[in-house]
Amino acid sequence: MPRLTETLARRAVERSYADRETEYAQEMHRIMEATYEFIEQTGSLEPSLRDILEHTGLSTQGFYRYFRSKDELMLVLLDDGRRRLVEYLSSRMEAASSPPARVRAWIEGVLAQASSPRAATRTRPFVANEDRLSELFPDEQRESVDLLVDLLAEALSTVHPTASKSRTRRDAMAVYRLVFGTLHSHLIRRTRPSPSEIEHVVRFALLGVGISPEEGR
């Protein structure tokens, strides 16, 4: 085959793959957003595959083109939610006036998810199913959680620059468990943390990692 013909043929194949990849990514995004919408509208903690198919307008065959199971879709949505939360927390932390204030911004930003009706409704199903998803997809879950813990650990490292990375990481994980445990409790009970409760959690966490609560303002 002449070299030019071979090159043009390869380009055509590459364009075809690129177009198909873009099409699949757009369709996956549509499915995710439609599932989010269904959860918001119904408040369902465990949407069935039938519900998802009806709301997205997909056939069963069409759904399995993108996801191996409903649990895999839920995992993707949970990961997507965490990545959106990382962006939100990063924005809050960048606006903070000092390293201790950035730690406070992380804690308050997480708990704000229970105070926002829309965020709470979108997050609640994944909290309810997190243990099961962690068992089914341990590596993916760990990677997703690491995004949030690493963000906090980075802030803590600027507060205590002489602390070892392992110590900073342990502190960040302890704060993560405290704050997300509080968040999960409110989401499942469909309640909102009061300002005094939020402040108590913030002060407790800051003292635990060696930061004066007043310094963290």
Each residue's pLDDT tens digit, 8-30: 456 655 655 555 667 777 888 88
Do 80 and 144 meet the contact criterion of CB atoms below 8 Å apart?
A: no
Confidence at 77, pLDDT banded by 50, 70, 90: confident
Task: Return the closest-CA partner of residue 130 out of 215, 45, 10, 195.
Answer: 45
Range of the domain at 92: 70-217
User: Do 107 and 212 fall into the same domain?
Assistant: yes
Q: What number of other Cβ atoms are within 10 A of residue 94's Cβ?
A: 9
Question: What is the C-alpha separation between 85 and 105, in angstroms, rounded?
Answer: 12
Task: State the pTM of this model.
Answer: 0.81
Residues 23 and 56 in one domain: yes
Please give the backbone phi and psi of residue 57, each rounded to the nearest 5 degrees, phi first: 75, 20
Copy the structure tokens of residue 12: 């055509």
Residue 42 sits at the vertex; the CA angle it makes with 183 and 35, to the nearest 5 degrees, is 80
**Digit-coded pLDDT (tens) for 51-63:** 888 888 888 888 8
Is the separation of the CB atoms in 99 and 159 below 8 Å?
Answer: yes
User: Looking at the structure, do residues 202 and 99 belong to the same domain, yes or no?
Assistant: yes
Co-location of 152 and 213 in the same domain: yes
